[in-house]
């Protein structure tokens, strides 16, 4: 009898509607106004690659050991170096990073002995051309420069 009454008065459907009604409360509504309001990504976020410079001298921290290129599963890092005649040390010449093939696994970052290569918190990597996805040393040191919009 009770089940029949429940069925006639659509109790099960009203129950569901009450849930949706509860969730309409304006305090639960949230929209992120993306280009004007940028999301804060986590500190450990694996985004755009970055070649760090020594903050004091402005010189690259990379010592061209090639560990990142060996660690990369996609072999997308190419490092070229030259031996300095005076100090007998290897010096970095070029560093290319193909972000179009990168899967942001972070293995290059983990393998870097000097913390020169890092996956930074920048996440806007779009480019108009395929060639634009291949980053050279200058791009890696400066980082991407997405347009900033004001709200």
Site for another protein in 5-34 (CB under 8 A): 7, 12-13, 15-16, 18-20, 23
Kindly state whether residue 119 participates in binding another protein, applying the rule CB under 8 A.
yes
| Cross-strand partners of 94 | 80
What's the Rg (C-alpha) of the chain? 26
Site for another protein in 45-84 (CB under 8 A): 45-46, 71-73
Tell me if residue 74 falls in helix, strand or coil: coil
- Judge whether 91 and 84 are in contact, CB under 8 Å: yes
Q: Which residues, other chains included, contact 21 with Cβ-Cβ below 8 Å and sequence gap of 6+?
A: none
Kindly state whether residue 1 participates in binding another protein, applying the rule CB under 8 A.
no
Give CA–CA dist 60/75, Å, rounded. Answer: 22
Kindly state whether residue 41 participates in binding another protein, applying the rule CB under 8 A.
yes
Q: How far is the CB of 26 from another protein (least distance, A)?
A: 15
Q: Between residues 91 and 143, which has the closer beta carbon with respect to another protein?
A: 143
Q: How far is the CB of 151 from another protein (least distance, A)?
A: 23
């Amino acid at each position: 009898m009770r089940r029949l009454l429940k069925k006639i008065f659509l109790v099960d459907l009203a129950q569901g509607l009450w849930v949706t009604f509860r969730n309409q409360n304006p305090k639960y509504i949230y929209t992120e106004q993306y280009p004007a309001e940028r999301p804060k990504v986590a500190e450990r976020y694996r985004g755009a690659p970055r070649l760090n410079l020594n903050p004091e001298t402005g010189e690259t921290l990379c010592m061209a050991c090639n560990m990142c290129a060996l660690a990369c599963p996609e072999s997308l890092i190419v490092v070229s170096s030259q031996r300095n005649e005076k100090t007998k040390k290897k010096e970095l010449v070029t560093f290319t990073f193909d972000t179009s093939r990168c899967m942001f696994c972070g293995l290059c970052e983990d393998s870097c002995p000097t913390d020169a290569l890092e996956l930074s918190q920048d996440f806007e990597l779009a480019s108009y051309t395929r060639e634009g996805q291949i980053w050279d040393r200058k791009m890696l040191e400066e980082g991407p420069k997405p347009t900033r919009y004001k709200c």
